[in-house]
Amino acid sequence: MQIESTRLGTIEIDKDRIINFPQGIPGFLEEKQFVLIPMGEDNPFFFLHSVTNKDLSFIVIEPHIFFRDYELMLSEELIESLSIDKPEDVAIYTIVTIKDDIKKATTNLQAPIVVNAVKLVAKQYILNDSQYLTRQPLFPQKSNTDEVAVTNEASMSGSGAKEE
């Protein structure tokens, strides 16, 4: 089927890949159906695009690509409400926030989108007491540019830090 997208124009989507968010998404509770659209080959970003609202798409990533140690415990209630049968059925995405500069992009590790990839039901699951941030920088600031790295080095030697 085809959907309209302000960002992408008219796009063809597979209606068997529509993901249902029975409770919507915080800030957009009336939006219940989305599709994942990869931005490109070797590109870690996806659009999570509303099926019914052409203006609405989020930028999401698979958090493990950026944060290898990222882990979360799914509550029994979540497992039940998404009808999850086994761990391999679960896919996790996190929403990315970008103002103007991609280097300053952040992602919400405290409220991952948990998807039952078999039954195509999902929820943005807010972790209550989380060690993770709602705005975790995607890219470590010091490796952004040489200039920033130099500044870091200078401040480290100034503070008496030893070289590794």
Partner 1 sequence: MLVLSRKKNQAIRIGEDIEISILSIEGDTVKIGIEAPKKVSILRKELIEEVADANRESAGATVDLKDFKLDK
Site residues (vs partner 1, CB under 8 A): 25-28, 39-40, 42-45, 56-59, 65, 75-77, 80-81, 95-102, 105-106, 108, 110-111, 124, 126, 128, 134-135
How far apart are CB 70 and partner 1 at their closest, in Å? 16
How far apart are CB 161 and partner 1 at their closest, in Å? 26
Q: How many CA atoms lie within 13 A of 49 on its CB side?
A: 26
Residue with tokens 């919507």: 24
Could you tell me which residues come within 8 angstroms of residue 66 by beta carbon, excluding any fewer than 6 positions away?
44, 107, 138
The smaller minimum CB distance to partner 1, of residues 96 and 158, is found at 96
How far apart are CB 119 and partner 1 at their closest, in Å? 19
How far apart are CB 48 and partner 1 at their closest, in Å? 9
How far apart are CB 87 and partner 1 at their closest, in Å? 20
The smaller minimum CB distance to partner 1, of residues 102 and 154, is found at 102
The smaller minimum CB distance to partner 1, of residues 4 and 154, is found at 4
DSSP three-state, residue 54: coil
The smaller minimum CB distance to partner 1, of residues 27 and 160, is found at 27
The span from the CA of 5 to the CA of 13, in Å, is 11
Burial of 134 (0-12, 13-18, 19+ CB in 10 A): middle
The smaller minimum CB distance to partner 1, of residues 149 and 161, is found at 149
Contact 122, 19 (CB under 8 A): yes
Between the two ends of the chain, the Cα-to-Cα distance in Å is 56
